[in-house]
Structure 1
Amino acid sequence: MANFVLVAGARLGSWAWDEVLPHLGAAGHGVHPLTLSGLAEKQGVPAGQQTHVQDIVDEVERQDLREVVLVGHSYSGIPVGQAAGRIVDRLARVVFVDASVPADGEPFVSAWPDGGAMVRASIVENSGFWPVAPTAHYEGHGLTDEQITRLVEGSTPHPGATLTEPAALERPLGDLPAAYVKCTLGDPEPSDDVAELLTSEHWQLIEMDTGHWPMLSQPSELARILLGIAGE
């Protein structure tokens, strides 16, 4: 059976996967939602990008997990992609859920249209943190008002250094067994860097007709996709 290690995106903690977990557990798999340092119940823990990578590696090694399906959503694709290359002997598949992908030597913000200038400025203005997003940020993503409220109220400011420090890849992403789950509502095409990775024989593309937070908007469908990736 697989061991799912689930890492949510910026500002979020392990709670974001709550509605996905029962579906994976009912199929008999190990389920390990992870909160990264500095977020949710781990607020106050200093964190740079390599801290988040190490959080993931430590979780896998501490529990001696094998057949790992490592799942990263949104921002967390950056540390997940790096961690996957460091646990390759334990890895069954890495799954990027509408996620950013790391480029060696580049920070998360480098892919933004302005090179990350606005995010960097916001981090400076907010004492080293990327502030919680307003309600409007979540509109148009297939979420109910209640789900948006959960996202807003459950979010915590995100440690800025994790967004601005460069990635360090131990092996090319295209060499890893991977799936990319593209949420097509409002943004139907993968980004150029993802499209290039999808030319690899080791990668597959799966589409979901929903917005950027499918663990809330379509949890049972996301779980079905993850189970399919795991070979159910």
Structure 2
Amino acid sequence: MADFVLVAGAWLGSWAWDEVVAPLRAAGHGAHALTLSGLAEKRGLPAGQQTHVQDIVGEVERRDLHDVVLVGHSYSGIPVGQAAERIGDRLTRVVFVDSEVPVDGESFVSTWWQGPAALASQLADNDGYWPPLGAADFDGQGLTDTQIARLVEGSTPHPGATLAEPAELTRPLSELPATYVKCLLDGPEPNATVTELVAGGHWRLVTMDTGHWPMFSQPAELARLLLEQTS
């Protein structure tokens, strides 16, 4: 059976996966939701991007996990993609859930869709942290008012150093066994980098008819999709 290691995106902790972990475990798999340094119950811990990479590698090694399916959502696709190549033959597959992916030498800030200056300005104005989203920012993402309230209440400021440090890859990302999950309410197509990786032949592309936070809007469907990646 597989061991899933689930890492949520910016502002979120392990709690974001509560409704996904249960069906994975019910199917007989291990499911380990991870909070990255500086977030949620680990708020206040110093963190750069390589700290987050080591958080993930350390979780796999500490638990002595094998047949690992690494799952990265949104921002966390960047450290998850780097961690995937560092855990060697423990890895079965990487699943990127509507996420960014690491580009060697580039950071989350440098590839930000609104331009690096816009995100850098937000970090500078908030003591080096990326402030969480407000309720209105979740409009159009397939979420109920209750789900939005849970997201807003549970989010914590995201440490900016993790966004500004460049990724470090030792081999082409295209060589990883990977699945990319595109959430269609957040845009019909993945970005150009992901499109190129899918075209390379090692990556699968699947879609979900929901928004950017499927662990809240469609947790059962997301769990089923993740289980399909083990076959």
Question: Which TM class, normalised by the smaller chain length?
Answer: over 0.9
Aligned to 1:27: 27
Give the number of aligned pairs: 231
Q: Please identify runs of 4+ aligned residues in structure 1 that moved more than 3 A.
A: none
1:49 aligns with 2:49: yes
Aligned to 1:81: 81
Aligned to 1:199: 199
Aligned to 2:18: 18
Whole-Å Cα distance in 1 between the matches of residues 59 and 185 of structure 2?
32
Aligned to 1:117: 117
Could you list the runs of 5+ residues in structure 2 that have no partner in the other structure?
A: none
Root-mean-square deviation (CA), in Å?
A: 0.8
Q: Deviations over 1:119-161 (max 9, x none)?
A: 1111111111001111111110000000000000000000000
Whole-Å Cα distance in 1 between the matches of residues 20 and 127 of structure 2?
34
In the TM superposition, residue 194 of structure 1 has moved relative to its aligned partner by 0.4
In the TM superposition, residue 186 of structure 1 has moved relative to its aligned partner by 4.2
Whole-Å Cα distance in 2 between the matches of residues 162 and 222 of structure 1?
26
Whole-Å Cα distance in 1 between the matches of residues 67 and 55 of structure 2?
18
Whole-Å Cα distance in 1 between the matches of residues 156 and 121 of structure 2?
18
The aligned amino acid for 2:32 is H
User: What secondary structure, in the 3-state scheme, does the structure 1 residue paired with 2:110 have?
Assistant: helix
Q: Deviations over 1:74-116 (max 9, x none)?
A: 0000000000010121000000000000100000122224432
Aligned to 1:210: 210
Whole-Å Cα distance in 2 between the matches of residues 122 and 162 of structure 1?
14
Whole-Å Cα distance in 1 between the matches of residues 52 and 4 of structure 2?
17
The aligned amino acid for 2:101 is V
The aligned amino acid for 2:34 is L
Q: Deviations over 1:33-82 (max 9, x none)?
A: 00000000000100000000000000000111000000000000000000
